[in-house]
Structure formats: C-alpha cells, structure tokens
C-alpha cells in the first residue's frame, strides 16, 4: 500500500511509505485456526500453542511493540482477551510459534482466562463462528506502565492511547 503526503504531492515529490503488515506461518486471514491454537481447558482440548507472528514496516517513531489476541464475539458483552504481550523492543519483528511463557523480552499480561500468556480459542459449543483478532501495535512509548495482573481492558486503553500504527490478522474458530 503506497501513501503520499499532501506536502509531497504539492511539491511534486513522491514519498512512498509502506503500511505496517502482520502475517503468520500458522494462520491466515479469514481462515480457521488449527487445533494447535485451541485452548486446553473450559471444555476445549487443543494444544494451546501461541502462533507464529511476523510484522514488517514499522513506522518511524516506533519505540515499542505490543501484541494482542481478542475475540469480539465472546458472549460476555465485552469480548475476550486471549493474549496480551507488551513492552517488546522496537527492533523485534517476529514471535515464533510456541513462544508464550518463554519470552526473553516483553511482558505477558493476564488474559480473560485468569493467567498471563496465550490462551487459545474456545468458543462455546454451538455458538457459531468466532473471530480471533491478532493485532500488532507500534507504540510511541518505550514501555507501558503495567504489570502481569493489570486488567486487559486497562491494557487495551493504554494501547489505544500510545498507538502510532497497527495491523490485525483475523482468524476464525467454532465448536
């Protein structure tokens, strides 16, 4: 995706910037998650393995990265947070498959399952297709002032106040 600034167009200079882009080897836009990314508990019997995530084209001014996984279709009235990773250094460009619980940098915050780390998909049986939004956040701050038990809604609020760019990959799942 190419973007041009109004100033650049007015002076006849074509300045190209690429938008932040999130991808994964383990999941694809609009496609079903595998059993590997299903939760193990709450009646689900998946492997609960965090997916590979890779991002490109961080904007200038990025000071840290965060990752979230969120289900807006959970029958809670407020969705369901499945993964919150904050305070990754700006030079981070990828998280390998299964890294949850083994991060050397950054912080995993408590999810709606009540523990920090990746908590896979586990929609109620017969509830229909759920969307799982994996988002990479480029932030204008070196560190969010949170700890592992900061409520997910507070983390979401802080992310939205510090974001300079983000991209979301949405996968699906049903039982």
Domains present along the chain, CATH in parentheses? 20-173 (3.90.280.10)
Q: Cα torsion at 145, 151, 152, 156 (round to 10°)?
A: -50
Query: What band does 4 get if pLDDT is binned at 50, 70 and 90?
Result: very low
Please, which residues bridge with residue 130 across strands? 173
Query: What band does 142 get if pLDDT is binned at 50, 70 and 90?
Result: very high
- As a whole number of angstroms, the distance between CA 80 and CA 69 comes to 9
Find the mean pLDDT for residues 153-174.
98
DSSP 3-state of 156: helix
Q: Please state the φ and ψ torsions of residue 3, each to the nearest 5 degrees.
A: -125, 145
Token couple for 175: 């039982």
Among 172, 174, 145, smallest CA distance to 33 is for 172
Find the mean pLDDT for residues 143-166.
97
The DSSP code sequence of 82-137 is: EEEEEEEETT--EE-TT-TT--SSSEEPB-TTSSBS---B-PPTTS--EEEEEEEE
Model pLDDT for residues 21-44, shown as the tens digit of each residue: 999 999 999 999 999 999 999 999
Whether the predicted pLDDT of 1 surpasses 50: no
Q: Are 129 and 174 within 8 A, CB to CB?
A: yes
The pLDDT of residue 51: 98
């Amino acid at each position: 995706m190419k973007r041009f600034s109004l100033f650049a167009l007015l002076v006849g200079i074509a300045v190209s910037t690429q938008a932040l882009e999130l991808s994964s080897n383990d999941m694809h836009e609009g496609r079903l998650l595998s059993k590997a990314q299903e939760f193990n508990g709450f009646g689900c019997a998946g492997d609960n393995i965090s997916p590979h995530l890779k991002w490109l084209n961080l904007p200038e001014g990025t000071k840290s990265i965060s990752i979230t996984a969120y289900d807006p279709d959970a029958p809670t009235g407020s969705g369901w947070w499945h993964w919150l990773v904050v305070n990754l250094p700006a030079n981070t460009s990828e998280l390998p498959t299964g890294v949850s619980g083994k991060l050397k940098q950054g912080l995993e915050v408590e999810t709606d399952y009540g523990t920090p780390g990746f908590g896979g998909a586990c929609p109620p049986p017969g509830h229909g297709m759920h969307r799982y939004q994996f988002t990479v956040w480029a932030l204008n701050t070196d560190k969010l002032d949170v700890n592992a038990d900061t409520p997910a809604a507070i983390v979401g609020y802080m992310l939205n106040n510090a974001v300079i760019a983000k991209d979301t990959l949405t996968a699906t799942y049903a039982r």
